[in-house]
Amino acid sequence: MGFDNIDVAEATRRNIPVSNTPGVLTHATAELAWALLFAVARRLVETDRIMRSGTWPGWGPLQFIGADVSGKTLGIVGAGRIGTAMALMSKGFRMQVLYTKASGQENETLKAELGARRVCLDELLAESDFISIHTPLTPSTRHLFRAETFARMKPCAIIINTARGPVIKEDDLVAALRARTIGGAGLDVYECEPHLAEGLADLDNAVVVPHIGSATSNSRAGMSPAGSQEPPGHAAGREAGILP
């Protein structure tokens, strides 16, 4: 978990300890990124809504055509813990993996396991069919994805954000999705949470979920250590009804 919503300087002044739990949600968030990727690519939310409405007329060969995933190119923006975990999960889909890394260093795990290539952002934007954001929010990454960024992506590209909302300029994303400048978006985080940019909720090529990247029983329990001899968070998770 990040801590960009906390005034660390003020907490320090008041002698209030501040900590986060970055390790416990790595795989949960990476898995959610994949869930969003498939939901957008195969139009799951849109088609679920059609079925529930009772308006589906029956199968047709040109209905709800989505995007293939296997064999495509996955771009990871920020190949840290979560970005690496998400990329490694692509192995079964035989995807080419590109990544950026703020440190400028090679990700030896991704290179060894997937033959992944570290590239500049422009190359990643131009070549990726799916782009998954895993960078922290910093002055240099705020609005990293905006109108000119979307214009450099493939028209079929799908963008996933499970990192920090303000990495995307949300009004520009809405415009790009409406104009089909890009193919779709799957979002777990938002620029002005809990609010969505105007028009985002109306778009069929966007899947929006309420910041649930860490919402698994193990992750939430691990985020709440109970101070007992049990594994960290186990007692808190049991009291909350999410662990036996």
pLDDT at residue 2 in the model: 56
What is the per-residue pLDDT across 153-204, written as a single tens digit (0 to 9) for each? Answer: 999 999 999 999 999 999 999 999 999 999 999 999 999 999 999 999 999 9
pLDDT at residue 22 in the model: 64
Mean per-residue pLDDT for 62-90? Answer: 97
What is the per-residue pLDDT across 111-127, written as a single tens digit (0 to 9) for each? Answer: 999 999 999 999 999 99
193 is an active site residue: yes
pLDDT at residue 73 in the model: 98
Which residues face 97 on adjacent strands?
74
Over 50: is that where the pLDDT of 98 sits?
Answer: yes
Q: Which of 42, 81, 142, 211 is catalytic?
A: 211
Starting at the edge strand found earlier in the chain, the sheet holding 158-161 runs 117-118, 96-100, 73-77, 130-133, 158-161, 184-187, 206-208
Q: Which of 164, 170, 191, 220 is catalytic?
A: 164
Residues 44-75, buried b or exposed e (16+ Cβ, 10 A)? bbbeeeeeeeeeeeeeeeeeeebbebeebbbb
pLDDT at residue 226 in the model: 53
Contact indicator for 97, 123 with CB cutoff of 8 Å? no
Q: Which of 10, 49, 94, 193 is catalytic?
A: 193
pLDDT at residue 225 in the model: 64
Percent of the chain with pLDDT over 90: 77
Contact indicator for 127, 97 with CB cutoff of 8 Å? no
pTM of the entire predicted model: 0.87
Kindly report the CA angle at 41 between 40 and 47, in degrees rounded to 5?
65
211 is an active site residue: yes
Fold designation for 22-48+67-214: Rossmann fold (3.40.50)
Over 70: is that where the pLDDT of 244 sits?
Answer: no
143 is an active site residue: no
